[in-house]
């Protein structure tokens, strides 16, 4: 058996702290920063509540949280135009919220209710909202990449000006679909931005345990496209890098690979006891909390009082509690109608069939 790679603390956490000087001036409009702060806090409280609701068995199936990755969710969404398309992996609640989908409908989807964003048919890993141009939520690692690339091809062929952003995890860069997709996007000049949310781990395997190239943006050179490393704990850095890549894709159809270096504060999914990361590593990444960082910046350079930040926290907590109430009171989907949204063509529905029995002859 191959020796298990050491818990990943390869100096990145410590180094990250050293290479992040406090900005010497206010970097953005305070109102805008407060908006990002609220969105990030909403994701934080929503995900904490999701973990609680999972433990209370209100949510079933697989469930992956964006805790610690809030700056990537909000920064990516802020760097896109409302008409641009977003494809994500299964760790996507935060992206749905950052795109402006009502938290009530996101929570209802996690509860598997008819009022959910995917009418209760998708659950945590399959959030989909065509109005907000969130094109899913995919459970198969790398599954979103060929679809996002195909969407880019469709936009190019129909001469539309919209851009596709395709989010993925770090381990996804080791999947065949990653390489095929980037190759075609570069070859055909497709308006797609590939955004790695690099939280350092694919389940329990650290980046250096699964990838021959550890600096993942360097993989872009194989396809002659720009590869950009971004501080994924800094919402403004993520927004600005995304905006630049998205506008480059829009202007001359040059795809980009972004490597957003971030951390996840908990295990891979809500049932992962997270035994492969050392206490020391966890302590250090907690010190890099993107929300605390933005709060400090707002206080120190924006002149915002702690009281104002606390009020925002109270307000988002009410929103999240309201979302739970809404989800809890919403009806379950009618089993008679389950196939209605699953297939483009009509399929006979036999909800009385037992598991393992063919649904139709």
Ligand X SMILES: Cc1ncc(C[n+]2csc(CCOP(=O)(O)OP(=O)(O)O)c2C)c(N)n1
Q: Give me the residues that bind ligand X (CB under 6 A), please.
A: 89, 91, 139-141, 168-172, 199, 201-203, 268
User: Which residues on adjacent β-strands are paired with residue 213?
Assistant: none
CA distance linking residue 45 with residue 57, whole number of Å: 18
Q: How far is the CB of 8 from ligand X (least distance, A)?
A: 12
Q: Which is nearer to ligand X, 49 or 268 (CB)?
A: 268
> Cα angle vertex 142, ends 199, 69, to 5°?
25
Q: How far is the CB of 260 from ligand X (least distance, A)?
A: 11
Q: Which is nearer to ligand X, 43 or 168 (CB)?
A: 168
Q: Which is nearer to ligand X, 86 or 312 (CB)?
A: 86
User: Which residues on adjacent β-strands are paired with residue 167?
Assistant: 195
Q: How far is the CB of 271 from ligand X (least distance, A)?
A: 12
| Unique residue bearing structure tokens 């407060």 | 34
Q: Which is nearer to ligand X, 136 or 333 (CB)?
A: 136
Closest residue to ligand X in the complex (CB): 169
Q: How far is the CB of 354 from ligand X (least distance, A)?
A: 27
Q: How far is the CB of 205 from ligand X (least distance, A)?
A: 8
Q: Which is nearer to ligand X, 72 or 256 (CB)?
A: 72
Residues 201, 268: contact at Cβ < 8 Å? yes
Q: How far is the CB of 141 from ligand X (least distance, A)?
A: 4
Q: Which is nearer to ligand X, 155 or 177 (CB)?
A: 177
Q: How far is the CB of 6 from ligand X (least distance, A)?
A: 18
Q: Which is nearer to ligand X, 79 or 206 (CB)?
A: 206
């Amino acid at each position: 058996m191959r020796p298990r790679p050491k818990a990943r603390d390869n100096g990145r956490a410590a180094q990250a702290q050293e290479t992040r000087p406090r900005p010497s001036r206010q970097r953005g409009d305070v109102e805008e920063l407060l908006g990002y702060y609220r969105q990030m806090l909403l994701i934080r409280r929503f995900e904490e509540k999701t973990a609680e609701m999972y433990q209370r068995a209100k949510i079933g199936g697989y469930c992956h949280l964006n805790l610690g990755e809030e700056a990537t969710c909000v920064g990516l969404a802020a760097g896109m135009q409302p008409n641009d398309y977003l494809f994500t992996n299964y760790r996507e609640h935060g992206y749905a919220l950052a795109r402006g989908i009502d938290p009530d409908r996101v929570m209802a989807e996690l509860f598997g209710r008819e009022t959910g964003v995917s009418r209760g048919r998708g659950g945590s890993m399959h959030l989909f909202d065509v109005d907000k141009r969130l094109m899913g939520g995919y459970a198969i690692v790398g599954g979103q990449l060929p679809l996002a690339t195909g969407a880019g091809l469709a936009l190019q062929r129909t001469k539309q000006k919209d851009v596709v952003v395709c989010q993925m995890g770090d381990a996804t860069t080791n999947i065949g679909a990653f390489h095929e997709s980037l190759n075609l996007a570069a070859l055909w000049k497709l308006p797609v931005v590939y955004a790695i949310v690099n939280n350092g781990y694919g389940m329990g395997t650290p980046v250096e345990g699964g990838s021959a190239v550890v600096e993942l943006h360097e993989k872009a050179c194989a396809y002659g496209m720009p590869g950009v490393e971004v501080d994924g704990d800094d919402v403004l850095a993520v927004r600005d890098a995304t905006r630049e890549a998205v506008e480059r894709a829009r202007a001359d159809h040059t795809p980009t690979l972004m490597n957003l270096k971030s951390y996840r504060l908990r295990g891979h999914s809500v049932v992962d006891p997270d035994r492969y990361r050392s206490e020391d590593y966890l302590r250090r990444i907690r010190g890099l909390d993107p929300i605390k960082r933005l709060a400090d910046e707002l206080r120190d350079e924006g002149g915002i009082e702690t009281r104002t930040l606390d009020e925002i926290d109270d307000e988002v907590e009410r929103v999240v509690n309201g979302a739970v109430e809404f989800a809890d009171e919403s009806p379950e989907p009618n089993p008679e109608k389950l196939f209605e949204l699953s297939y483009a063509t009509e399929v006979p529905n036999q909800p009385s069939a037992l598991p393992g029995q063919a649904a139709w002859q």
